[in-house]
Structure 1
């Protein structure tokens, strides 16, 4: 294989396009071959058999390129020439369920003006592919990668929605559930019916010997409603690996056919117009006895191989890793700049530790934990970016913070459990009343560190606020967390309803298919009444909406906030304050945030000790007011400061 297969993957295209694709193939095939050979060569009788399988995979890739619409081929070329397009300061994501946001895919097209008003450039629609009949984990149990859930529309509707969004400057992101399929997916049905080929698409065991050996080291995702990681399937007369719910069967990526079929499904969706994929549950892709079966080296090689295929066939497409893991494990999902062997993995990865730590800082009115997280966050590899967020469709998992929490004297279990109880609104474990109105998630043990569910507004105090002052503080908290996500470095993401301070949705408790999953508390239906109030500055919805839009408008004018610009954590006296610097010493931006309800004064010259920044006066870009060397942060306030002698704002 040293000479490699032919790089002419799509001979029917125009010569210029064929040359571009050939160049991409020559650049990315060596890495693709290396990863796939390491993963799968030992599954074949000899090197020749492996080479034939690889040629089949490349044939599928070539067919995908040949069938790719001309508009998407042109988009591929544009983004190949501007590989940092998704890391710029104007990038903004928005996340929602199709039905909760707009009814169906056609309805999403009608919501484009709202997305444009916010400045959204990236729309993540949560699972919309055909899901399992009955319970389906909110669509994350996929029954068909080539069909849309019927109430949401058709594949033609998807293509039209992608096109309409693209014309508005918005890339559509689809969930692509890599780890598992539904138990009524054709592969699972064939396995139940005795098809040996498809049985090998899944992990299945005739007795509990191997499952019990694995369970000794495995965690549990849903310990209350779906305990354990294996489910007995009578049709198979076997125990099937089901990390999540019993109806979600983990795919066996030791089987090269699984990789090939999943890669082909992804490329077909890319040809429909999907420009980004949230790769669900990436940490779980490879199983190994004696480990947690998370973050295994082979899981990264699977992602790297997918990245190489996408770089060849559809380089206009982004891959986003959904890996809710400890901070130290996160950077690997973006690849590395290692001089000996640089790797390219996903373009984006959720910074879940930053999100969870920001809520801890609010609860404790102390930024020690978030400062540990920031300090542990390395610069990202070239052509990649963090995805920063405040809330999402899932629960807040506090356990990702255990390594950082262990750096301090307090018992980690007690500390994180106290935070969890704070956000469930349980006042019995706090010295002061909790303003939060969330709920605990998926644990029956009173001493466990429960996950937390709830809309951002409810967790920030809107639902409990009675007085004008309490509502003002709730707004300050919510806007503070979004300000951090806008300034930290990455692509920020707004979760549907947060821009309107939308409340929890308690109605899920009366819906049979949702009642057992409290995450539906923060999956409300779009509130048209709140939307109509978004410009009413006297309403709390209007105040939040205007504050978020204002920050986003300022952000677009600050090149220091592009994802690739450096970040320096700054040391200051008050534990309530988070301070860091973005940009260069010649053109810095200081981010200062007070996570407490008390006023805090900061001497900027002291803050910048050791940095050669001679500015005597600063401009707060959020209100364009000048300030001297000493500033006061009121309750939950934030400042975006640039030196007065050069404001740092683009003309």
Structure 2
């Protein structure tokens, strides 16, 4: 049994409103239940006897932050414990957005709550809103503070007011916790630059290149074009500092327990402000060791589990998302394995699902998609996925080479084809994307661009081709219809719901021009939104199509992540076919055609699975019952079907 399940048992059955004394007793029970595992994890990372005082400080941090947690949030914790794994419900539908580019600031975001409600969105990931450097800041991921709101977005009180409004509306809020690094303007970094040895030990700093050169022998480069290497010389400090991402992002040194304790306080402060899901950014990089890639190390997993178990003691209604865009077999490890199973992160990005969907768009084939998902190691029953099509970041091509080779393709050549297809290197491709961080030495690169532009809508509009516009709209709805039916929380990237295109304005801004990811970070088009109900065009088609699919998802008990999924070989590689909750009467069969031509599936398969009776099937999406007059069901290009079990 994982610790969250133990806490649920300790909390007992939901009943009348508990007193503050009972809530305090539950805190002590949670702390006692977690104590041994927390202790073992802490001293496995910090084994020296001198760290006993640090462990005692950890206990005080937990007690102090529970004391500071509001009664309202404590009651919400208790309610969620009573609900069990509340985040596995099929009722969640999410959106990711930049507050400034979506609407301006936090108060204006609160005014947009009716927009989210109308679309069916009840889970919001706000990109970083805390203080950051005025110049380059990696979209807010170079942090000057973990809890203070940047004045550009409003005040701390504005944020508290927003979280209260979210709770009133039943909206789940996710914020980032940039756990791997700070900006070089963070107070600890400023102290380090000033020569304070205490804070120089909060980062990986070195007086010469001896140890950095040893690290570099095995460290890969994250941003080879704009930030080659992994160390930056700081003249104020007279030392080299580890900067794995950008020169202005200093990696935290978690081998120092003072760093963990300080970051734990930052984490608990964030949870006490009313955040429901905390996204651990770049958590694969947390522990550094010479002779390794310093990614996915066992110590990083133990550190994450330590954070999570401490968070459960104070705020058991708050959960952690793993931002681990790594190989498929590595992703599931962030849910926890062996003694830590179910005791690391409750949610993780299903990055391989996203990448394989885009592979199917380019190849018109679904075998790699089906094979990759079918071979993904099982996750714990208590955990779930974030499923997405696009986000603020690039599309990585982290496929398993053996899966590509099994299809008869050369892995390197295939990745090159995908870059060419999506990044305007093939005249016949409808996609208009851009390359991100191409490495000429390895030939590796990533893809960026908006969903609509990558699926051909931008080019179709330029050509004023109504047929191609219609095709692009169908493909957008098909991809989102797939993730809305998949196990996990579907996340829509803001702007996709109205088919927003690439934004090339970043090329005129000095602090953004070198980062092609800004092509998919547009200013939200509220003018188009205002015309959705009065104009019939691609934007309204996408918006109302998504609105319908989201509402439909919430009506289907078989789509919760407590229900099963099975992938089926339809005998046609252009089709992606999977089934949810097929063992019950709530079963749903999803069929999608990735080809540009009509494709067929055998009706015998539909009948054998229970979705065809007397030659008839019911499509949940249009609500119609249709009759098949032959042994084959034809599926149009880009068509999506959700079939109800007969």
2: distance between equivalents of 1:494 and 1:417? 27
The residue aligned with 1:468 is 466
Residue 538 of structure 1, aligned match among 536, 539, 546: 536
Whole-angstrom distance in 2 between the partners of 1:100 and 1:603: 47
Equivalent-residue separation in structure 2 for 1:285 and 1:332 (angstroms):
15
Residues 1:439 and 2:423 are matched in the alignment: no
SS in 2 for 1:516: coil
Question: For residue 161 of structure 2, what is the aligned residue in structure 1?
Answer: 160
Q: 1:202 maps to which residue?
A: 203
Task: Give the Cα–Cα distance (whole angstroms) in 2 for the partners of residues 585 and 60 of structure 1.
Answer: 47
Q: Deviations over 1:548-604 (max 9, x none)?
A: 111111111111111121111111211111111111423321111111111111114
Alignment of 1:636 onto 2:631? no
What does the per-residue CA deviation read over 1:225-264, in whole Å, with 9 as the maximum and x for residues that have no partner?
Answer: 1111111112222221111100000001111111111110
Residues 308-363 of structure 1: per-residue CA shift (max 9 Å, x gap): 11111011112111000011111111224x5x663411111011111011011001
Spell out, residue by residue over 1:376-423, the C-alpha distance to the aligned partner (whole angstroms, 9 max, x if none). 224421321100001000011113554532433211111011111111
Q: Is the 8 A contact 1:537 1:546 kept in 2?
A: no
In the alignment, structure 1 residue 38 sits paired with structure 2 residue 44: yes
Q: 2:12 maps to what in 1?
A: none
Give the 3-state SS of the residue equivalent to 1:344 in structure 2. coil
**3-state SS in 1 of match to 2:79:** helix
Distance 2:85 2:136 in 1: 40
Query: By how many angstroms is 1:535 displaced?
Result: 2.8
Compared CA separation, residues 281 and 406, structure 1 to 2 (3 A)? farther
**CA gap 1:576/1:70 in 2 versus in 1, 3 angstroms:** same
Give, in whole Å, the separation in 2 of the partners of 1:643 and 1:328: 33
Cα deviation code 1:281-332 (max 9, x no counterpart): 0111111222211111111111111111111101111211100001111111
- Alpha-carbon shift at residue 138 of structure 1 (Å): 0.8
List per-residue Cα deviations over 1:188-225 (Å, max 9, x = no partner): 11111111111111112222222222222222111111
The alpha-carbon deviation at position 613 of structure 1 amounts to: 7.9
Sort the Cα spacing of 1:533 and 1:376 in 2 relative to 1 into closer, same or farther, 3 A. Answer: farther
1:484 corresponds in structure 2 to 482
Report if aligned partners of 1:388, 1:485 keep a CA contact under 8 Å in 2.
yes
What CA distance in whole angstroms lies between the structure 2 residues aligned with 1:342 and 1:100? 39
The answer to whether the Cα contact below 8 Å between 1:399 and 1:449 also exists between their aligned partners in 2 is: no
Which among 554, 557, 569 is matched to residue 556 of structure 1?
554
What RMSD over aligned residues (CA atoms) do the two structures have, in Å? 1.9
* Paired position in structure 1 for 2:385: 386
- Give, in whole Å, the separation in 2 of the partners of 1:72 and 1:80: 12
Q: Number of matched residues?
A: 621
SS class of match (2:551): helix
Distance change >3 Å, CA 213–CA 391, structure 1 → 2: same
Residue pairs, 1:333-372, within 5 angstroms:
333-336=334-337, 338=338, 342-372=341-371
> What TM-score do the two structures reach when normalised by structure 1?
0.92
Contact 2:323–2:348 (CA<8 Å) still a contact in 1?
Answer: yes
User: SS in structure 1 opposite 2:145?
Assistant: strand
The change in CA–CA distance for 1:562 and 1:32 in structure 2 (over 3 A counts) is same
Distance 2:329 2:397 in 1: 15
The reply to whether residue 240 of structure 1 matches residue 220 of structure 2 is no
Q: Contact 1:615–1:643 at 8 Å: present in 2 too?
A: no
CA distance in 2, matches of 1:446, 1:50: 44
| 1:28 alignment partner, one of 34, 38, 53 | 34
Corresponding position of 1:596: 595
Query: What residue in structure 1 maps to residue 3 of structure 2?
Result: none
**Are the structure 2 counterparts of residues 341 and 144 from structure 1 closer, same or farther at C-alpha, using a change threshold of 3 Å?**
closer
Contact 2:611 2:644 in 1 (8 A): no
Rate the CA distance shift 1:503–1:379 in 2: closer, same or farther, 3 A.
same
Given that 2:506 and 2:512 are in contact with CA atoms closer than 8 Å, whether structure 1 keeps it comes out as yes
Is 1:105 equivalent to 2:87 in the alignment?
no
- Tell me if the contact between 2:119 and 2:547 (Cα under 8 Å) persists in the aligned partners: yes
- Using the alignment, how far apart are the partners of 1:166 and 1:604 within structure 2? 47
What does residue 649 of structure 1 align with? none
Match of 2:132 in 1: 131
3-state SS of paired residue (1:639): strand
Q: Deviations over 1:496-540 (max 9, x none)?
A: 000010111111111112111111110001111111133346211
Q: Tell me if the contact between 1:207 and 1:239 (Cα under 8 Å) persists in the aligned partners.
A: yes
1:424-474: CA deviations, max 9, x gaps?
12116xxxx111111111226297232111111111111000311100111
Pairwise CA distance, 1:52: 2.6
Distance 1:446 1:440 in 2: 15
The aligned residue for residue 422 of structure 2 is 423
Do the aligned partners of 1:537 and 1:543 also contact (CA within 8 Å) in 2? no
Which residue matches 1:16? 22
SS in 2 for 1:602: strand
Partner of 1:170: 171
1:59-74 equivalences under 5 Å are: 59-74=60-75
Give the conservation status (yes or no) of the 8 Å contact 2:611–2:643: no
Q: What secondary structure sits across from 2:147 in the alignment?
A: strand
Q: Distance in 1 between matches of 2:237 and 2:173?
A: 38
Deviations 1:71-101 (A, max 9, x none): 1011011011112211111101110011001
Q: Which consecutive residues of structure 1, in runs of 5 or more, have no partner in the other structure?
A: 1-6, 8-12, 645-651
State which drifts further: 312-321 or 26-35.
26-35
| Cross-structure match for 1:648 | none
Cα gap change, 1:220/1:444 in structure 2, threshold over 3 Å: closer, same or farther?
closer
Preserved contact between residue 32 and residue 308 of structure 1 (Cα < 8 Å): yes
Contact 2:503 2:519 in 1 (8 A): yes
1:256-271, aligned counterparts within 5 Å? 256-271=257-272
2:147 corresponding residue in structure 1: 146
Consecutive unaligned residues of structure 2, counting only runs of 5 or more, are 1-6, 8-18
Inter-partner Cα distance in structure 1 for 2:403 and 2:45: 33
Q: Measure, in 2, the Cα distance between the counterparts of 1:643 and 1:152.
A: 48
Partners of 1:436 and 1:502 lie apart in 2 by: 14
